[in-house]
Amino acid sequence: MTRAGLTGGIGSGKSTVSALLVSYGAVLIDADRIAREVVEPGTPGLAAVVAEFGTGVLLPDGSLDRPGLGSIVFADPDRLAALNAIVHPLVRDLSSRQEAAAGPGSVVVHDVPLLAENALAPLYDAVVVVDAAPSTQLDRLVRLRGMTQEEARARMAAQATREQRLAIADFVIDNDGPLEALEPQVRKVWDELRSR
Protein backbone atom coordinates (compact mmCIF):
# COMPACT_ATOMS: atom_id res chain seq x y z
CA MET A 1 0.00 0.00 0.00
CA THR A 2 1.19 3.51 -0.80
CA ARG A 3 -0.16 6.21 1.46
CA ALA A 4 -0.19 9.74 0.08
CA GLY A 5 -1.25 12.92 1.83
CA LEU A 6 -2.94 15.45 -0.46
CA THR A 7 -3.21 19.06 0.57
CA GLY A 8 -3.63 22.56 -0.79
CA GLY A 9 -5.00 25.89 0.29
CA ILE A 10 -8.72 26.52 0.05
CA GLY A 11 -9.63 27.12 -3.59
CA SER A 12 -6.35 25.66 -4.85
CA GLY A 13 -8.21 22.85 -6.63
CA LYS A 14 -7.50 20.06 -4.16
CA SER A 15 -10.98 18.52 -4.55
CA THR A 16 -10.61 18.62 -8.31
CA VAL A 17 -7.29 16.77 -7.99
CA SER A 18 -8.66 14.20 -5.56
CA ALA A 19 -11.55 13.47 -7.95
CA LEU A 20 -9.03 12.85 -10.76
CA LEU A 21 -6.95 10.54 -8.54
CA VAL A 22 -10.09 8.57 -7.64
CA SER A 23 -10.93 8.26 -11.34
CA TYR A 24 -7.49 6.65 -11.84
CA GLY A 25 -8.13 4.17 -9.02
CA ALA A 26 -7.01 5.81 -5.78
CA VAL A 27 -8.81 5.00 -2.55
CA LEU A 28 -9.75 8.40 -1.15
CA ILE A 29 -9.92 9.09 2.55
CA ASP A 30 -11.48 12.50 2.98
CA ALA A 31 -10.56 14.15 6.29
CA ASP A 32 -13.25 16.85 5.98
CA ARG A 33 -15.94 14.28 5.37
CA ILE A 34 -14.70 12.18 8.28
CA ALA A 35 -14.57 15.33 10.42
CA ARG A 36 -18.28 15.79 9.71
CA GLU A 37 -19.10 12.15 10.42
CA VAL A 38 -17.45 12.15 13.85
CA VAL A 39 -19.70 15.00 15.05
CA GLU A 40 -23.00 13.75 13.65
CA PRO A 41 -25.95 13.76 16.07
CA GLY A 42 -25.66 10.98 18.63
CA THR A 43 -21.86 10.69 18.43
CA PRO A 44 -19.48 11.04 21.39
CA GLY A 45 -17.70 13.64 19.20
CA LEU A 46 -20.72 15.94 19.14
CA ALA A 47 -21.22 15.51 22.88
CA ALA A 48 -17.61 16.60 23.46
CA VAL A 49 -18.02 19.65 21.19
CA VAL A 50 -21.17 20.70 23.07
CA ALA A 51 -19.39 20.23 26.41
CA GLU A 52 -16.65 22.60 25.19
CA PHE A 53 -18.65 25.20 23.22
CA GLY A 54 -22.15 25.00 24.72
CA THR A 55 -25.53 24.19 23.21
CA GLY A 56 -25.34 27.46 21.24
CA VAL A 57 -23.42 25.55 18.55
CA LEU A 58 -26.40 23.28 17.92
CA LEU A 59 -29.14 23.88 15.36
CA PRO A 60 -32.77 23.37 16.43
CA ASP A 61 -32.67 19.83 14.99
CA GLY A 62 -29.76 18.91 17.26
CA SER A 63 -27.11 18.85 14.55
CA LEU A 64 -23.95 20.92 14.68
CA ASP A 65 -24.20 24.51 13.43
CA ARG A 66 -21.01 24.31 11.38
CA PRO A 67 -21.01 27.91 10.09
CA GLY A 68 -21.74 29.13 13.64
CA LEU A 69 -18.91 27.08 15.10
CA GLY A 70 -16.71 28.14 12.20
CA SER A 71 -17.25 31.81 12.95
CA ILE A 72 -16.15 31.19 16.56
CA VAL A 73 -13.04 29.15 15.83
CA PHE A 74 -11.81 31.01 12.77
CA ALA A 75 -11.81 34.21 14.84
CA ASP A 76 -9.85 32.73 17.77
CA PRO A 77 -6.82 30.42 17.54
CA ASP A 78 -7.35 29.12 21.11
CA ARG A 79 -10.91 28.06 20.35
CA LEU A 80 -9.72 26.45 17.12
CA ALA A 81 -7.11 24.50 19.08
CA ALA A 82 -9.79 23.36 21.54
CA LEU A 83 -11.96 22.12 18.67
CA ASN A 84 -9.03 20.39 17.01
CA ALA A 85 -8.13 18.62 20.26
CA ILE A 86 -11.57 17.01 20.20
CA VAL A 87 -11.96 16.31 16.51
CA HIS A 88 -8.44 15.32 15.37
CA PRO A 89 -8.07 12.12 17.44
CA LEU A 90 -11.53 10.98 16.30
CA VAL A 91 -10.65 11.72 12.67
CA ARG A 92 -7.35 9.82 12.97
CA ASP A 93 -9.12 6.81 14.43
CA LEU A 94 -11.81 6.62 11.74
CA SER A 95 -9.25 7.24 8.94
CA SER A 96 -7.10 4.35 10.15
CA ARG A 97 -10.10 2.09 10.13
CA GLN A 98 -10.99 3.16 6.56
CA GLU A 99 -7.40 2.70 5.49
CA ALA A 100 -7.27 -0.78 6.98
CA ALA A 101 -10.24 -1.65 4.75
CA ALA A 102 -8.34 -0.77 1.52
CA GLY A 103 -6.52 -3.64 -0.21
CA PRO A 104 -2.76 -4.17 0.34
CA GLY A 105 -1.83 -3.09 -3.22
CA SER A 106 -3.90 0.08 -3.18
CA VAL A 107 -2.83 3.68 -3.39
CA VAL A 108 -4.57 5.43 -0.54
CA VAL A 109 -4.88 9.20 -0.85
CA HIS A 110 -5.63 11.10 2.31
CA ASP A 111 -7.27 14.42 1.46
CA VAL A 112 -6.15 16.58 4.39
CA PRO A 113 -6.82 20.33 4.07
CA LEU A 114 -4.72 21.21 7.14
CA LEU A 115 -1.84 18.79 6.61
CA ALA A 116 0.80 21.54 6.72
CA GLU A 117 -0.86 23.44 9.58
CA ASN A 118 -0.92 20.34 11.78
CA ALA A 119 2.56 19.07 10.78
CA LEU A 120 1.16 15.76 9.52
CA ALA A 121 3.63 15.18 6.66
CA PRO A 122 5.55 12.43 8.53
CA LEU A 123 2.39 10.29 8.56
CA TYR A 124 2.56 9.74 4.78
CA ASP A 125 4.86 8.04 2.26
CA ALA A 126 4.51 11.11 0.04
CA VAL A 127 2.93 14.54 0.31
CA VAL A 128 1.20 15.97 -2.76
CA VAL A 129 0.56 19.72 -2.69
CA VAL A 130 -1.87 21.44 -5.03
CA ASP A 131 -0.42 24.88 -5.55
CA ALA A 132 -2.06 28.07 -6.74
CA ALA A 133 -1.24 31.73 -6.23
CA PRO A 134 -3.26 33.42 -3.46
CA SER A 135 -4.80 35.71 -6.08
CA THR A 136 -6.05 32.63 -7.97
CA GLN A 137 -7.47 31.08 -4.78
CA LEU A 138 -9.25 34.34 -3.96
CA ASP A 139 -10.67 34.63 -7.45
CA ARG A 140 -12.07 31.07 -7.38
CA LEU A 141 -13.55 31.44 -3.90
CA VAL A 142 -15.35 34.65 -4.81
CA ARG A 143 -16.34 33.83 -8.38
CA LEU A 144 -17.09 30.08 -8.10
CA ARG A 145 -17.89 29.53 -4.43
CA GLY A 146 -19.87 32.72 -3.77
CA MET A 147 -17.74 33.90 -0.83
CA THR A 148 -17.23 37.58 -0.18
CA GLN A 149 -13.68 38.94 -0.53
CA GLU A 150 -13.53 39.29 3.27
CA GLU A 151 -14.68 35.73 3.95
CA ALA A 152 -12.25 34.34 1.42
CA ARG A 153 -9.33 36.35 2.80
CA ALA A 154 -10.13 35.34 6.39
CA ARG A 155 -10.30 31.66 5.47
CA MET A 156 -7.02 31.89 3.58
CA ALA A 157 -5.34 33.79 6.43
CA ALA A 158 -6.29 31.01 8.87
CA GLN A 159 -4.34 28.50 6.76
CA ALA A 160 -0.66 27.86 6.22
CA THR A 161 1.09 30.03 3.67
CA ARG A 162 1.84 28.84 0.18
CA GLU A 163 5.54 28.63 1.14
CA GLN A 164 4.81 26.50 4.22
CA ARG A 165 2.89 24.02 2.10
CA LEU A 166 5.51 23.90 -0.65
CA ALA A 167 8.20 23.21 1.98
CA ILE A 168 6.65 19.83 2.86
CA ALA A 169 5.81 18.71 -0.71
CA ASP A 170 7.23 15.61 -2.37
CA PHE A 171 5.09 16.39 -5.43
CA VAL A 172 3.79 19.81 -6.42
CA ILE A 173 0.82 20.09 -8.77
CA ASP A 174 0.65 23.56 -10.29
CA ASN A 175 -3.00 24.55 -10.59
CA ASP A 176 -2.64 28.18 -11.51
CA GLY A 177 -3.39 27.38 -15.12
CA PRO A 178 -6.44 26.01 -16.93
CA LEU A 179 -7.98 22.62 -16.11
CA GLU A 180 -6.42 21.13 -19.27
CA ALA A 181 -3.00 21.74 -17.75
CA LEU A 182 -4.00 20.03 -14.52
CA GLU A 183 -4.96 16.57 -15.72
CA PRO A 184 -1.56 15.51 -17.18
CA GLN A 185 0.22 16.60 -14.00
CA VAL A 186 -2.15 14.59 -11.82
CA ARG A 187 -1.71 11.58 -14.11
CA LYS A 188 2.06 11.83 -13.72
CA VAL A 189 1.85 11.95 -9.93
CA TRP A 190 -0.54 8.99 -10.01
CA ASP A 191 1.91 6.96 -12.11
CA GLU A 192 4.69 7.71 -9.63
CA LEU A 193 2.56 6.82 -6.60
CA ARG A 194 1.42 3.58 -8.18
CA SER A 195 4.95 2.49 -9.06
CA ARG A 196 6.22 2.96 -5.49
Question: Which is nearer to ligand ADP, 13 or 45 (by Cβ)?
Answer: 13
CB 128 within 8 Å of CB 21: no
Distance CA 31, CA 15 (A): 12
Query: Which residues, 156 to 175, sit near ligand ADP by CB under 6 A?
Result: 175
Please give the order of strands across the beta sheet that includes 107-111: 27-30, 107-111, 2-8, 126-131, 171-174
5 is an interface residue for ligand ADP by CB under 6 A: no
Distance CA 3, CA 193 (A): 9
Question: Which is nearer to ligand ADP, 143 or 196 (by Cβ)?
Answer: 143
The one among 6, 8, 156, 173 contacting ligand ADP by CB under 6 A: 8
Question: Which is nearer to ligand ADP, 104 or 184 (by Cβ)?
Answer: 184
Q: What are phi and psi of 6, to 5 degrees?
A: -110, 130
Distance CA 65, CA 58 (A): 5
Determine how β-strand 2-8 pairs with β-strand 27-30. unpaired
The one among 3, 11, 73, 193 contacting ligand ADP by CB under 6 A: 11
Describe the crossing of helices 14-24 and 179-194 by its angle, rounded to 10 degrees.
50
The one among 4, 6, 7, 13 contacting ligand ADP by CB under 6 A: 13
The one among 7, 12, 159, 185 contacting ligand ADP by CB under 6 A: 12
Least distance CB 118 / ligand ADP (angstroms): 17
Query: Which residues, 21 to 50, sit near ligand ADP by CB under 6 A?
Result: none
The one among 30, 69, 91, 140 contacting ligand ADP by CB under 6 A: 140
Question: Which is nearer to ligand ADP, 56 or 177 (by Cβ)?
Answer: 177
Q: Give the list of residues 6+ apart from residue 21 with CB closer than 8 angstroms, or none.
A: 6, 28, 107, 109, 186, 189, 190
Q: Give the list of residues 6+ apart from residue 186 with CB closer than 8 angstroms, or none.
A: 17, 20, 21, 24, 173
Question: Which is nearer to ligand ADP, 7 or 46 (by Cβ)?
Answer: 7
The one among 179, 183, 188, 196 contacting ligand ADP by CB under 6 A: 179
Contact residues toward ligand ADP (CB under 6 A) are 8, 10-16, 140, 144, 175, 178-179, 182
